[in-house]
Structure 1
Amino acid sequence: MQTTLMIYDGAAPADSDVQRTGGAPLAPSGFTWPMCGSCCGGPLQFFAHLPVEYGVLSAFVCQNEPACESWDATSGANRVYLFPRENLLPVAVPETGVTLLPITSASRTHVVTLAPEENGDHDELAPLGSLGGIPSYLEDDRLPTCPSCAGTTELAAHLEEGISMRTAMNLGGQLGYVFVCRACCNGAFLTD
């Protein structure tokens, strides 16, 4: 089985159109920063800019106090957007709330082939996650449906916290999963 790992590739400019965690989101003109729809109502933190073959995925997760249920795909405390590749601009960052990661980390892809009995441990490569695949660590009843059409979503990426405390996304020590509905151009985020 082949897996496309996202490997740490150093610092990146905050508004670059490269695969990265942190930095500022790039979005079409008129996009407004998403707010938490759970309990706090504050701005979500931007986690990842993920160019994929069918567009660019942007993942946002609530990191404000009090702690919202950001691990739940239906809580309103996270958002995933699918944007077209063209005409993306840096989004204005809200002045309050926990909105940006401290460091912007670029990643590159590295395809590995795993035998069925391997556990996928490739720590020597400093993985930040993987693209596509199967969410093998999640129970079937936790796989999210599209928030717009209630249809099936597909796993677009899994995210790991990061290689250091300064680059880390706060996932509570868990893996983060980015799901997408290509038809509706949005998706869902959850942790295991």
Structure 2
Amino acid sequence: MQTRLMIYDGPAAADSDVPRTGGVPLAPAGFDWPVCGSGCGEPLQFFAHLPVEDGVLSVFVCQNDPGACEFWDAAEGANRVYLFPGEGLRPVAVPATGLTLLPAVSAIRTQVVTIDPEEVEQDDEEGTPDAYDLARSGWAREPGARFGTQREVLGSLGGSPSYLEDDRVPACPSCAGAMEFAAHLEEGIDWRTAMNLGGQLGYVFVCRPCREGAFLTD
């Protein structure tokens, strides 16, 4: 059982093309900064720049009025996920109003954590523990790795969505098919690097044929 964790790797330049949270988004020419469609109408806050095999995932979440604008729902317009091509991206001009940028930029490195299923204790009531939870715990005790804390885990790439019910998997707005899980996103390591998700785990989904994305929290 392998999980590709995303680990905090120190500060990064605001416009770097490395995996990161915070900073400014990189997007194709002509891209317009998204605004909240859930109520406030203000620009969304840029959360994460995640290079993947077929492009770059760019995640935005509304932070202008937490608790009022429904950033936790994939269909309410208070968040956006884009799957951009991997080439020809440039820094986007930041709007003058709204909570648009995180206070700090966090570089991300990946760490594959391997858990032996035979060593996993199964709870009769809860069943087999979740792969992401196991990997997150295993990160701190991975042999030969730089030991860290669970707080340094910023999420994971690929795999399956942690404890998410099947009926919450979003449908692609273009083809109506079920979207593919792409990443978990944790809030961050401290107040300067963190997105306010109400203490919840974020989920990123994508429809690769349509190049559509979605975000929700648990």
TM-score by length of 2: 0.85
Counterpart AA for 1:47:
F
Bigger-Rg structure (1/2): 2
Aligned residues: 192
Instruction: Quote the RMSD (CA, aligned, Å).
Output: 1.2
Q: Which sits farther off after the overlay, 144-153 or 174-183? A: 144-153
Aligned residue in 2 for 1:157: 183
Matches within 5 A, 1:11-90: 11-65=11-65, 67-90=68-91
Q: Is the 8 A contact 1:147 1:188 kept in 2?
A: no
> After the TM superposition, which parts of structure 1 deviate over 4 Å for at least 4 consecutive aligned residues?
none
1:146 aligns with 2:172: yes
Aligned residue in 2 for 1:167: 193
1:135-175 alpha-carbon deviations (Å, 9 max, x no partner): 13111111111122211211111001111111111111010
Counterpart AA for 1:104:
V
CA distance in 1, matches of 2:81, 2:108: 19
Displacement of 1:115 in angstroms is: 3.0
CA distance in 2, matches of 1:136, 1:178: 11
Counterpart AA for 1:127:
V
The secondary structure found in structure 2 opposite 1:190 is: strand
Higher helix share: 2
Q: Is the 8 A contact 1:149 1:184 kept in 2?
A: yes
Counterpart AA for 2:106:
S
Q: Which runs of 5+ in 2 are unaligned?
A: 121-128, 141-147
Quote the sequence identity (%).
Answer: 74
Higher strand share: 1
The secondary structure found in structure 2 opposite 1:155 is: strand
1:187 aligns with 2:213: yes
Aligned residue in 1 for 2:9: 9
1:97 aligns with 2:98: yes
Q: Which runs of 5+ in 1 are unaligned?
A: none
TM-score by length of 1: 0.96
